Amino acid sequence: TNVRVVARFRPPITEEEEKDQPAFAVHAGDNSNAIDLGVAENATVQSHDGKWSFDFDTAFSEEASQEVIYHRIGLPAVQDVLTGYNGTLLMYGQTGSGKTFSLFGRLTQSNLRGLAPRAAEDLVQQCLSSDSEESTIQCSFLEIYRERMRDLLHPSNHSLRIKEMPQRGLMVDGLVQDDISSSGDILKALDTGNAWRSVAATRQNQYSSRSHAIFTLYVSRRSLTDLREARFFVVSQGRNIGKNGGKRHQNHCETLSRE
């Protein structure tokens, strides 16, 4: 298994810039694989007087563009899928850390599109442009929120349940897989799914995603002598407030669930 762990910094938002400098200064290190944590110069913290460095496979500063992130992180996974290996991109971080922007970005602005639309478009273009292979691509978009599953592309679909298959392992039975025939189909699916995601206002983010979301591409490529099938998973690990967590956050969160 080829697993890479990557850290990305986002620029400060307006509310953060208006506040005093935090007690701890965190930034990308001098080399491209480290994150440095130290005490800010004007901090009043007395108990910590050191500096720590944490190594990753790659660490991106706040200046890194969406295109750079994709070519360093997303493209290698796409190339694996094209050769028949499953690929997964998992976003994890606290509320307001930039998971949704890194994953989806702004679909209407090509330079700000995130990993999911860029990877999906590349897969579609490379699969459907081949004259020597017959390719089929399908997609699904699943949300998990408060221990409930929802088909984001077909919100009226309430027949979802988890099953374990001998050859495929765990799967969501009833989750609809839509056919993809162009890059436009990908953008439409992402736009539709994101419109139905459960969001809420928080202190850090007015439209914070409150759920786990899994966007999956199912790729099958057949030539005269070979059949290659693979799945490409794009996962956003939302801040799971759950039932008890929801009570703890009710003072500053309003759930905007469209059910």
The CATH number given to whatever domain includes residue 78 is 3.40.850.10
Looking at 25, 43, 63, the residue that finishes a domain is 63
100 labeled part of a ligand binding site: yes
The reply to whether 78 and 38 lie within a common domain is no
Looking at 63, 89, 105, the residue that finishes a domain is 63
Please enumerate in sequence order all residues whose Cβ is within 8 A of that of 41, keeping only pairs 6 or more positions apart, or say none.
Answer: 21, 25
Residue 230 binned pLDDT confidence (cut-offs 50, 70, 90): confident
87 labeled part of a ligand binding site: no
169 labeled part of a ligand binding site: no
Residue 9 contacts residue 60 (beta carbons within 8 Å): yes
pLDDT in tens, 72-86: 999 999 999 988 899
pLDDT in tens, 163-181: 988 877 788 999 999 999 9
pLDDT in tens, 110-131: 999 999 999 999 999 988 887 7
97 labeled part of a ligand binding site: yes
* 244, pLDDT greater than 50: no
Paired tokens of 251? 């003072």
Looking at 19, 46, 63, the residue that finishes a domain is 63
The reply to whether 128 and 25 lie within a common domain is no
> How many independent structural domains does the chain possess?
2
105 labeled part of a ligand binding site: no
Q: Which residues form the domain of 11?
A: 1-63
237 labeled part of a ligand binding site: no
The reply to whether 136 and 184 lie within a common domain is yes
Residue 217 contacts residue 120 (beta carbons within 8 Å): yes
